[in-house]
Amino acid sequence: MSTRPSPLLSNVSYQCLHPYPFPPLLPCPFFKAVPRRPTPILRMRARDDDMEDDIIGCRRRYEGRQYRRQVGQQIRQLRQQHMMINLLNLRADHVVSNTPFNDSGWGADKVKDDNPRFKYGTPPDNNGNYVWIQHYIYHLAPNGKAGFVMASGALSGGSIEGEIRKKIIEGDPIYGIIATPAKLFYTVSILVSILFLRKSKPEYMKRKVLFVYAKQMFKPISRRQVVFTDEHIARIVEKFRMFEAGDPEEKINELGFAKVATIEEIESFD
């Protein structure tokens, strides 16, 4: 059996210089040899030369497994970095989400002060409502829209959340809010609202928000759940289409159901 030393047993390690997340196997021009400290090789006094060859062969296989494991870890790390960069740069034309309500322990202590998603402020760790809202705002494309459900408590909370809400209102990404009836969700009985965001508003919608009060519009389907009927949905959609089309506010406003409010009016009640 040959005892020619393997490259993996020499005093040389290999460093990946490939610029992409999937480096090829050796040999490759993107790899270069880097001197390293010698690794002690198992030595054994053996009467039989074949035994020594077997030991060297085992060592080679062990080194080979270690090398493949290191390359695999490097590939996984590069893939994760590549994925994080892509997610950070993601811009969506439309976002539709059933947001977790009042999510606690979301990891506020791990967020850096310069995180671009939280330009309105870092929400408290015991409630992640404004984590999601700011997350959607950040990832919208220039003409993107978002629609999502949110616990109604997010619209009236104080402290840090109240300060963040005021900054978001002043930033003017919200263009519609629907107050929904209780028991709309089978698993929770808390009141929820549906919020609509736009990254940029047309001139006639700027500093205005359409409020729709739909708490009395529902059809019970069980003791624990209610739903919107097609007629209810059509009535709500009609108001939003009128608002987006730039119809006069006098035509959109309906006592007890729909109201176009200015940012100044909202701030006076907040």
- The pLDDT assigned to 58 comes to 65
Question: What is the C-alpha separation between 134 and 126, in angstroms, rounded?
Answer: 16
| Contact call for residues 143 and 173 (beta carbons, < 8 A) | no
Secondary structure of residue 93 in the 3-state scheme: strand
Picking from 88, 106, 130, the residue at the C-terminal end of a domain is 88
Q: State the Cα–Cα distance between residues 124 and 138, nearest whole angstrom.
A: 18
In this structure, are 113 and 218 located in the same domain? yes
Residues 79 and 110 in one domain: no
Task: Looking at the structure, tell me whether residues 77 and 149 fall in a common domain.
Answer: no
Same domain for 161 and 28: no
Q: Report the chain (270 residues): mean pLDDT per 10 consecutive residues.
A: 42 39 43 44 46 60 70 70 66 91 86 86 92 94 95 88 94 96 85 94 96 95 92 96 96 96 89
C-beta separation of 95 from 136 below 8 A: yes
- 25-52: pLDDT as tens digits: 444 444 444 444 444 444 444 444 555 5
CA-based radius of gyration for the chain: 30
- For β-strands 92-98 and 140-151, DSSP reports them as parallel
Q: What is the pLDDT of residues 221-233, one digit of tens each?
A: 998 899 999 999 9
Residue 35's domain comprises 7-88
The CATH number for 253's domain is 3.40.50.150
In a domain, 2, yes or no: no
Domain boundary among 88, 113, 138: 88
Do 57 and 168 fall within a single domain?
no
Residue listed under structure tokens 């909370």: 157
Distance CA 76, CA 241 (A): 47
Domain count along the chain: 2
pLDDT tens-digit map of 153-177: 899 878 899 999 999 999 999 999 9
Q: In terms of domains, do 195 and 233 share one?
A: yes
Q: Inter-axis angle of helices 129-139 and 159-171, to 10 degrees?
A: 20
Query: End of a domain among 40, 57, 88?
Result: 88
Q: Could you tell me if 162 and 234 lie in one domain?
A: yes
**Cβ neighbours of 9 (radius 10 Å):** 14
All residues at 6 or more sequence positions from 120 whose CB lies less than 8 Å from its CB, including other chains:
130, 134, 164, 167, 168, 171
Q: Are residues 222 and 238 in the same domain?
A: yes
Instruction: Compute the residue count for the chain.
Output: 270
**Based on the domain organization, do 118 and 184 belong to the same domain?**
yes
134 lies in the same domain as 41: no
CB-based contacts of 183, cutoff 8 Å, min separation 6: 189, 218, 224, 225, 226
Calculate the CA dihedral of residues 127, 176, 90, 110 and round it to 10 degrees: -10
